[in-house]
């Protein structure tokens, strides 16, 4: 049972609910500075993760092929369409719903703490890392939801599926997530989180959703061609 992931998802839902409620009470200038603070923090988090890269070529080709794949299958449009369906189903009219969902998912789920914690839970039944991550994600979701709204709440769904999937995979295949695999996944995810920071600071709008297939490409490159880079 992925207890750590369940606690993590609940922490995000609680934090985002509080953030959505109190965010409405903040004047626009407060929301703006919170938005900018989150953007700067996200850049720092992304850079720290990206510096874990072991092969810069894997990072480059994963992002390139990931972006092309995402554009080819129109992933951005499909995710937005699905998010719009959720919005209408729950009668939510917030403009940043899908942006909040995807941004929160990437911040919460792409990183060494997520992967190592889920693996630890799957291999040894140790929930310590994910419990610690739950506290951090709870406060982060509060800050994100004060700006993005209720879309952050629904990021708990892909968060649960992603982390529980890694836990299950780790339980079934103990040698899959090598140190190299974790480092490369973290680096590629970090590059995308830097993109989120750029979006948050309104420097340039990057279609981050279309880069998500890079996470699949980096796994394929690292798993099947570990020695040619």
Does residue 228 surpass a pLDDT of 80? no
Condensed to tens digits (0 to 9), the pLDDT of residues 54-63 reads 889 999 999 9
pLDDT bracket for residue 215 (50, 70, 90)? confident
Residue 110's region, left for phi above 0, alpha for psi from -120 to 50, else beta, is beta
φ, ψ of residue 95 in degrees (nearest 5): -70, -30
DSSP sequence for 76-135? HHHHHHHHHHHHHHTT---TTHHHHHHHHHHHHHSSHHHHHHHHHHHHH---HHHHHHHH
Q: Is the dihedral of CA 157, 1, 137, 55 positive or negative?
A: negative
> Dihedral of CA 65/66/69/71: which sign?
negative
Please, which residues have CB within 8 angstroms of residue 33's CB and are 6 or more apart in sequence?
Answer: none
Using CB atoms within 10 A of its CB, is residue 17 exposed (0-12), middle (13-18) or buried (19+)? middle
**Which range has the worst mean pLDDT, 4-8, 34-38, 87-91, 106-110?**
87-91
Q: Which residue has the higher pLDDT, 24 or 3?
A: 3
**C-alpha pair distances (Å), 70 with each of 47, 105, 209, 213:** 23, 17, 7, 6
What average pLDDT does this structure show over 192-220? 86
Measured from the Cβ of residue 102, the count of other Cβ atoms closer than 10 Å reads 22
User: What pLDDT is stored for residue 110 in this prediction?
Assistant: 72
Average pLDDT over residues 23-42: 77
Low-confidence winner among 90-94, 112-116, 194-198, 204-208 (lowest mean pLDDT): 90-94
% of the chain at pLDDT higher than 70: 90
Q: What does the pLDDT read at residue 100? A: 81
Give the residue, 81 or 18, on which the prediction is more confident. Answer: 18
Which pLDDT value is given to residue 95? Answer: 58
Q: What is the pTM (predicted TM-score) of this model? A: 0.73
Tell me the mean pLDDT in the region 83-108: 70
Contacts of 9 (CB under 8 A, 6+ apart): 156, 157, 159, 160
Residue 227 — pLDDT band, cuts 50, 70, 90?
A: low
In this prediction, residues 80-88 reach a mean pLDDT of 68
């Amino acid at each position: 049972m992925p207890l750590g992931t369940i606690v993590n998802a609940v922490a995000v839902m609680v934090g985002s609910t509080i953030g959505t409620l109190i965010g409405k009470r903040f004047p626009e200038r407060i929301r703006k500075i919170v938005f900018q603070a989150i953007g700067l923090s996200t850049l720092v988090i992304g850079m720290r993760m990206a510096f874990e890269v072991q092969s810069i070529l894997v990072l480059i080709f994963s992002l390139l092929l990931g972006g092309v794949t995402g554009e080819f299958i129109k992933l951005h449009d499909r995710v937005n369409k699905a998010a719009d369906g959720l919005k209408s189903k729950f009668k939510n009219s917030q403009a940043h719903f899908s942006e909040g969902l995807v941004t929160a998912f990437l911040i919460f789920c792409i990183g060494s703490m997520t992967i190592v914690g889920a693996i630890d839970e799957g291999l040894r039944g140790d929930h310590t890392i994910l419990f610690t991550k739950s506290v951090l994600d709870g406060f982060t979701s509060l800050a994100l939801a004060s700006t993005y709204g209720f879309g952050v709440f629904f990021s708990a769904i892909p968060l649960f599926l992603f982390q529980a999937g890694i836990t299950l995979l780790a339980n079934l295949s103990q040698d899959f997530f090598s140190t190299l695999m974790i480092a490369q996944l973290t680096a590629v995810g970090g590059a995308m989180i830097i993109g989120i920071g750029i979006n948050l600071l309104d420097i340039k709008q990057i279609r981050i959703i279309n880069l998500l297939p890079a996470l699949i490409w980096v796994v394929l490159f690292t798993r099947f061609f570990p020695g040619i880079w």
